[in-house]
């Protein structure tokens, strides 16, 4: 292996000699990749097709010792570092240009202890990996809605999905983490060990280290749920959304219902004349007794005159994958998001007006229904602060051709600005694109200062900066 030039933390260049590179390769149990190697493009490619960066070197880790070796190599040479778990983050922070990419995707283990209802999960596991293993024993951890998402990034940002209202955020089931910090130490973080680090990891993203194992408390759940879609003509949105809002006011924690607005894909249960036309979809899941679910969903399913109602009993693992075909990797994606404590008439007007201006057939707006158990946790109990938000809006611009970049991005930004007056002011960091660096403080609200102090203790040189970054020294001066 020849000497190589890398991008540094400061944005400059440094050269690492051949002997040091050979020593790195010899210490790694996994694989070390450089441009030109057969596997290089596959590993650097991630879910968002807009991200096309080329790391100088990729270390594909198979265990914690590999992560320690890679972190020490990066720190000693002051290299720009990125960390890849599932590679699903919208900002593309998994991949750096010219630096060292630490790839955790080979670390996919999921081990369940049925007696203690605990699971130990590797940082390369996807939600599908976790669901398949836990549901085999009638157990679950609350996660997201796209099964190809990585468990690591989802958890570190908070994590919410279909069963959050019943069981809390993903971080609310987190018991401990094994984490490699910037000084190359492997620490355990829990309520009793390094509790400040544990607090920060529950919502603070990848700012504090690289988690090599997650321990979750599992919940008895499944394997069948009442779930499915009720599809309405978008022309009826002005009637459907207020009734949707009213129906959720007394919804039990077991019931979650999200709204998706977009052009109808060619789904087999939709009449062909609706394919490609604007629709409003109520996507619902009841995580409890099926008969109780039929009663709980009745008011939602009685709204308006839907085109189709395909709510029924489904395996939870199948429902978790229901939206995967619409969210497959490779497309160009840009998101803008707001939290709402209520879905006001003014916010509804902004959202529905935007659907009449969809720039492409894959662009959509969804409104996630949260709260429940997750909303009864104190805002300062974890780094994730936005416990009072009842709805999360994500403007999801998705398209295929680079020539559409400006139209799709401008559409998303326009909706974001127009709906800002009605929003809570916080944000879900997992939904923030790479151009929202000025929004990080608002995203963490009252927890921001404490996060900066913890960042200063564990990563004072900001080695872990390819994320929604907390800048330790500058941030503390400004706070």
In the chain, where does the domain assigned CATH 3.40.462.20 lie?
A: 224-431
CATH T-level fold of 4-103: 3.30.43
CATH class of 110-220: alpha beta
CA distance 413 to 337: 9
CA distance 231 to 351: 17
Q: Looking at 122-242, which runs of residues are DSSP E strands?
A: 139-140, 174-180, 186-190, 210-217, 219-220, 224-233
pLDDT band at 479 (very low <50, low <70, confident <90, very high): very low
Proportion of the chain above pLDDT 70, given as a percent: 99
CA-CA distances (angstroms) from residue 239 to 296, 306, 357, 392?
Answer: 20, 12, 20, 20
Q: Tell me which residue has tokens 């570092």.
A: 81
Closest C-alpha to 123, from 139, 106, 135, 111: 106
What is the tens place of the pLDDT at every residue in 209-235?
Answer: 999 999 999 999 989 999 999 999 999
CA distance 410 to 381: 36
CA-CA distances (angstroms) from residue 376 to 158, 181, 252, 379, 405?
Answer: 15, 31, 14, 9, 40
Strand partners, 337: 394
What is the tens place of the pLDDT at every residue in 244-256?
Answer: 999 999 899 999 9
Quote the mean pLDDT of the chain. 95
Dihedral sign, Cα of residue 138, residue 140, residue 145, residue 150: negative
pLDDT of residue 388: 86
Q: Using CA atoms of 416, 422, 425, 430 in order, give the dihedral in degrees to the nearest 10.
A: -50
pLDDT of residue 6: 95
CA distance 173 to 183: 28
pLDDT of residue 297: 97
CA distance 196 to 16: 35
Residues 6 or more apart whose Cβ sits within 8 Å of residue 364: 260, 261, 262, 396, 398
In the chain, where does the domain assigned CATH 3.30.465.10 lie?
A: 110-220
Contacts of residues 407-413 at CB distance under 8 Å and 24 or more positions apart, as own/partner, are 407/359, 407/360, 408/332, 408/334, 408/359, 408/360, 408/363, 409/334, 411/354, 411/357, 411/358, 411/359, 411/363, 412/334, 412/335, 412/336, 413/336
What is the tens place of the pLDDT at every residue in 112-154?
Answer: 999 999 999 999 999 999 999 999 999 999 999 999 999 999 9
What is the tens place of the pLDDT at every residue in 141-189?
Answer: 999 999 999 999 999 999 999 999 999 999 999 999 999 999 999 999 9
Architecture of domain 224-431 in this structure? 3-Layer(aba) Sandwich (3.40)
pLDDT band at 476 (very low <50, low <70, confident <90, very high): low
In the chain, where does the domain assigned CATH 3.30.43.10 lie?
A: 4-103
Provide mean pLDDT across the span 403-425: 96
What is the tens place of the pLDDT at every residue in 383-410?
Answer: 999 998 789 999 999 999 999 999 999 9
**DSSP annotation of 189:** E
CA distance 66 to 83: 13
pLDDT of residue 474: 62
pLDDT of residue 473: 72
Provide mean pLDDT across the span 451-476: 90
Encoded tokens for 305: 């005159």
Provide mean pLDDT across the span 356-381: 95
Supply the pTM of this predicted model: 0.95
Is the bond preceding 12 in cis, omega lying within 30 degrees of 0?
A: no
Proportion of the chain above pLDDT 90, given as a percent: 95
**What single string gives the DSSP state of each residue in 313-349?**
EEEHHHHHTTTGGGG-TTSEEEEEEEEESS--HHHHH
Per the CB < 8 A criterion, the answer to whether 46 and 105 are in contact is no
pLDDT of residue 111: 98
pLDDT of 477 above 60: no
Per the CB < 8 A criterion, the answer to whether 254 and 296 are in contact is yes
pLDDT of residue 178: 98
pLDDT of 346 above 70: yes
């Amino acid at each position: 292996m020849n000497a190589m030039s890398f991008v540094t933390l400061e944005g400059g260049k440094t050269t690492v000699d051949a002997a040091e590179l050979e020593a790195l390769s010899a210490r790694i149990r996994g694989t070390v990749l450089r441009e030109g190697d057969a596997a290089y493009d596959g590993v650097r490619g991630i879910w968002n097709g807009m991200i096309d960066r080329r790391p100088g070197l990729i270390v594909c880790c198979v265990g914690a010792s590999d992560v320690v070796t890679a972190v020490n190599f990066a720190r000693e040479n002051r290299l720009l570092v990125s960390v890849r778990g599932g590679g699903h983050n919208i900002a593309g922070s998994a991949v750096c240009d010219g630096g060292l990419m630490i790839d955790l995707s080979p670390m996919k283990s999921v081990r369940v202890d049925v007696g203690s209802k605990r699971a130990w999960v590797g940082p390369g596991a996807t939600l599908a990996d976790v669901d398949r293993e836990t549901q085999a024993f009638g157990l679950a951890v609350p996660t997201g809605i796209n099964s190809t998402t990585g468990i690591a990034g989802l958890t570190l940002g908070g994590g919410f999905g279909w069963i959050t209202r019943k069981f809390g955020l993903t971080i609310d089931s987190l018991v401990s983490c094994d984490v490699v910090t910037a000084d190359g130490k492997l620490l355990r973080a829990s309520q009793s060990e390094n509790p400040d680090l544990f607090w920060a990891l529950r919502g603070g993203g990848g700012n504090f280290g690289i988690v090599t194992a997650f321990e979750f408390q599992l919940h008895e759940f499944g394997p069948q749920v009442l779930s499915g879609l009720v599809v309405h003509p978008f022309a009826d949105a002005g009637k459907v959304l207020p009734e949707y809002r009213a129906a959720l006011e007394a919804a039990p924690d077991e019931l979650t219902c999200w709204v998706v607005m977009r052009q109808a894909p060619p789904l087999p249960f939709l009449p062909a004349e609706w394919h490609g036309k604007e629709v409003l979809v109520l996507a619902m899941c009841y995580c409890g007794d099926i008969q109780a679910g039929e009663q709980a969903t009745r008011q939602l399913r009685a709204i308006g005159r839907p085109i189709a109602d395909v709510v029924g009993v489904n395996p939870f693992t199948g429902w978790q994958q229901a939206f995967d075909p619409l969210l497959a990797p490779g497309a160009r994606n840009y998101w803008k998001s707001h939290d709402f404590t209520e879905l006001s008439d003014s916010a509804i007007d902004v959202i529905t007006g935007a659907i009449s201006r969809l720039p492409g057939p894959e662009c959509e707006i969804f409104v996630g229904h949260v709260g429940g158990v997750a909303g009864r946790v104190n805002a300062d109990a974890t780094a994730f602060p936005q416990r009072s938000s009842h709805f999360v809006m994500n403007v999801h611009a998705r398209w295929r051709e680079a020539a559409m970049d400006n139209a799709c991005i401008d559409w998303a930004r326009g909706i974001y600005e127009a709906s800002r007056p009605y929003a809570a002011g916080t944000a879900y960091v997992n939904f923030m694109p790479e151009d929202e660096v000025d929004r990080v403080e608002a995203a963490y609200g009252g927890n921001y200062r404490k996060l900066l102090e913890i960042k200063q203790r564990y990563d004072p040189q900001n080695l872990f900066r390819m994320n929604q970054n907390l800048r330790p020294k500058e941030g503390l001066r400004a706070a």
